[in-house]
Copies of this chain bind each other. A is one copy, B any other.
Amino acid sequence: MPARIAVVQNILSANDERAARNRAVFDRAGVLAVNLMASPGAGKTSLILRTLDSLHGRLRLGVIEGDLASSIDADRAKAAGIPAFQINTGKQCHLDAVMVQAAMRELPLGQLDLVIIENVGNLVCPIEFRIGSHLSVLIASIPEGDDKPYKYPSAYRGVQALVINKVDLLPYVPFRMDCFREGVEALSPGLVTFPLSCRTGEGLDAWADWLVARAREKRAPAAP
């Protein structure tokens, strides 16, 4: 179906242009933008709330929440004192650059250092759509099982960090960490990973420190 392919390519290319514009707006405001992706229920919103605590005020955090329906996530973020805007995508299975552009206008970018954009819970579709972020981060969660890198390889390629959430459940579910890490390494050699638990707080400091370092790099690029 060449007509379908042409239409899809046009949509992707128009999206890429808008994503580049979003990124330029983040750059001008000195904001690091992170695209946070995961399966439904892997702990995206919990990670954002825990990140706020672990940053200890080192970065000023804002959030854009993407969900098909409801404002549950933005409400939770606002209740924690984070400037947040909720996007409802309806039936759309991923965020796109136009949606994020509209949400960016609702955030006080000049007063922020870091914006985490929580994508729709989906390991397939968000991968193909740029939204203007500087970094992409994937959350895997222990109860999902150790075979996910093998089954959803595109989600594990092209991300800059992997959070392995819910490590507190390791005693209660079958999960072969060696097998999981082997799959990740084959797809993204050397990928930085953060095993942690949003429930117990274990491992969150390393993740927050990494975000702080990335935001500082962005502000003061290393000499060539």
Number of interface residues, chain A, beta carbon within 8 A: 41
Closest to A14 in B: B1
Residues of B within 8 A of A122 (CB): 93, 122-125
Cα–Cα, bound, A93→B1 (Å): 18
Could you tell me which A residues sit within 8 Å of B by CB distance? 1, 3-4, 7, 11, 39-41, 67-70, 72-73, 91, 93, 120-125, 128, 141, 143-145, 147-148, 150-154, 166, 168-169, 172-174, 199
Interchain nearest-CB distance for A86 vs B (Å): 11
**Bound: A122/B4 CA distance, A:** 22
Given A40-B144, A72-B147, 20 other A-B residues pairs in contact with their CB atoms under 8 A = A1-B11, A3-B7, A40-B148, A40-B152, A41-B143, A68-B151, A68-B152, A69-B150, A69-B152, A70-B150, A72-B151, A91-B128, A91-B154, A93-B124, A122-B122, A122-B124, A122-B125, A143-B169, A169-B172, A172-B172
